[in-house]
Structure 1
Amino acid sequence: MLDFKIVDKLQKIDEDIQKDQLNYHAKRVLVSKEFTFDAAHHLHHYEGKCKNLHGHTYRVVLGLSGYTDERGLMIDFGDIKKIWKQKIEIHLDHRYLNETLPPMNTTAENIVVWIYEKLAEALLDEPSYNGACVEFVRLYETPTSYAEARREWMEGE
């Protein structure tokens, strides 16, 4: 039998916990959020099935790192979702990628770098994100195939 207990008393700020106790540490942390989008594309200068117009349900994983604020938050997951929806997804979801992305061959390798750049740009535009930076973007074109862009590769090149 499971031992189930109802909380006796909800913790209250300034009574049971002080504001200066909210941030437990001063270490860098990584937070991650996943999204999916559906899009069509085709590849140029390529001999194979992908030279024909086709579509994918892409899955993207965004990894951001930084230091927590006085509340113990590095970046709110809702803020990551807002950036995704307003700055990135509008160019991708239910779109013909060859038309909506900058001129490029719409390979997973090219798209993942474009997503990385858009996310990094959005983080720079908002100082309240405590210096959060993109650590990686992973773009799954199929459930078992992905391309990845990492900060050390993007900033070191």
Structure 2
Amino acid sequence: MAQIAKISEKVQLKSSGKRFYQFFKNKMDYFPRMFPGNVESYKFVEGNSFTHGSVSVWKYDFGFGSSVEVKVKLLVDEPNKTIIYECLEGDLFKDFEMFNVKIEVNDGGNNGNSSVNWCVEFVKANENVAPPNSYLQFGVKICKDVDAHLCKQLN
């Protein structure tokens, strides 16, 4: 069995970790409006809201010239403020045997000590596949933009 590889980046938040986590958990339907050039659509195929165990199909474009579609199961670990997007099927599996995105929020309150760790866990289909750095960088962009949005709401 192939080794699971991980790439991650920690983003310092200006907003509270609690607010950031609640936004991510409860407002994912905002993503197509917040990131219209990247997140094209989503639809539920199991469940009817972004809750633990729901399954949705996302269509997005990270600037590769074509849209990518992926079926994702949402796993929420409330006590640890962690959300995992477990990719079940879709275009990603041309290059990867396994692909998950994990978001871990550390709540340091409103004093600038909150952070979010965006981690991509994957198994490449073969050694010629490049690490999914574009996914990691898009995750960092999402974190920074959501944080800025939350800070703007406070003012």
| TM norm structure 1 | 0.29
Structure with greater proportional strand content: 2
TM-score (norm 2): 0.30
Report which of the two structures shows the higher radius of gyration computed on alpha carbons.
1
